[in-house]
Amino acid sequence: MNRNVVAGNWKSNTGFNEAKSLTRAIAEATGDTESQVIIAPPAPYLAALKELCGAALALAAQNCSAYDMGAYTGEHTAQMLADVGVSHVIVGHSERRQLYGETDEVVAAKVHQVSAAGLHPIICVGESLEERESGEHMNVVKRQLQKGFFDVLDAAKAADVIIAYEPVWAIGTGRTASATQAQEMHLFIRQWVHEAYGQMADRMPILYGGSVKPENAEELFSQPDVDGGLIGGASLNAADFISIIKANDKWITAN
Ligand code: 13P
């Protein structure tokens, strides 16, 4: 797996036509990128957008069921996503934890489902403002990693994981973690992965998310343990998203 990744989380945005043109524009730009590029559009569009992605652009879902197929109205399983060509699933996003009451246990069940379907989980971790201000941020992230990752996946499955560090206070607020804050947490996460799973920590993509824009992407991505980004708002604009991908590519080429 390429350690350098730029992923766009479209959240509950875009109409179908807009989603198609955005996908086409991004697919066109990803043929020669150094970074693995992933888009996570709304679920109803996934199957249709798969046709537009081409070989280089990977498709992610933003969520999946914590259960297998069955009587779970409104849910889509990880296997259903795999069947329509999805390769990655975002799990444990703070909006799902906060707005839909997803606990560490629910996140763990979803990570298990994603992995069992042969897909890559993009596991989101991150602290609230209150937790950072009380100095609890490392402990919070450690707990989320322990319960949603280590307790669920053995070493063979863990190699498929992408981690996204998204401080809740930086999501959609325009307030970004400083490059130093991001690097400090990313290094902490990589060391945790190293302790848990050994050498694979050096190959695991650890992405930063939270108000990444073309203007701040280069500085964030230049940190040694920031391998790319999980981009919300700025991924809805093809030019901005492509410029963020280029910022990551520039860093890779220079090193
Ligand atoms: P913003 O880039 O809009 O802050 O969102 C980040 C995010 O939540 C990506 O998953």
Degrees to nearest 5, angle at CA 232 with 189 and 118: 60
Q: Which residues contact 197 (CB under 8 A, 6 or more apart)?
A: 150, 155, 158, 159
Q: Which residues contact 70 (CB under 8 A, 6 or more apart)?
A: none
Degrees to nearest 5, angle at CA 161 with 175 and 38: 60
pLDDT greater than 80 at residue 152: yes
pLDDT greater than 90 at residue 88: yes
What is the chain's mean pLDDT, rounded? 96
Q: How many Cα atoms occupy the beta-carbon half-sphere of 6 within 13 Å? A: 30
Probe ligand 1: pick from 211, 236, 241, 244, max atoms within 8 Å of CB? Answer: 211
CA 230 / ligand 1 centre spacing (Å) = 7
For 44-75, what is each residue's pLDDT tens digit?
999 999 999 999 999 999 999 999 999 999 99
pLDDT greater than 80 at residue 255: no
Task: Indicate which residues carry an active-site annotation.
Answer: 93, 166
pLDDT greater than 90 at residue 31: no
Ligand 1: does its nearest atom lie under 6 Å from the Cβ of 59?
no
pLDDT band for 254, please (50, 70, 90 cuts): confident
Domain boundaries, the chain: 5-254
Can you give the pLDDT at residue 112? 98
pLDDT greater than 90 at residue 1: no
The residue count for the chain: 255
User: What is the C-alpha to C-alpha distance for residues 96 and 106, in angstroms, rounded to an integer?
Assistant: 10
Ligand 1: does its nearest atom lie under 6 Å from the Cβ of 126?
no
CATH among 3.40.50.1000, 3.20.20.70, 1.10.3720.10, 3.30.1490.20 for 5-254: 3.20.20.70
Can you give the pLDDT at residue 175? 86
pLDDT greater than 90 at residue 196: yes
| Mean pLDDT calculated for residue range 200-221 | 96
Can you give the pLDDT at residue 36? 97
Residue with tokens 């950072």: 132
Token pair for 68: 């297998």
pLDDT greater than 80 at residue 165: yes
User: What is the C-alpha to C-alpha distance for residues 66 and 13, in angstroms, rounded to an integer?
Assistant: 23
CA 213 / ligand 1 centre spacing (Å) = 10
Residue of minimum CA distance from atom 2 in ligand 1: 232
pLDDT greater than 90 at residue 172: no
pLDDT greater than 80 at residue 29: yes
Residue 253, classified by CB atoms within 10 Å of its CB into exposed (0-12), middle (13-18) or buried (19+), is exposed
Ligand 1: does its nearest atom lie under 6 Å from the Cβ of 125?
no
Can you give the pLDDT at residue 253? 81
Ligand 1: does its nearest atom lie under 6 Å from the Cβ of 232?
yes
pLDDT greater than 80 at residue 3: yes
- Kindly give the number of the ligand 1 atom that is closest to the alpha carbon of 170: 4
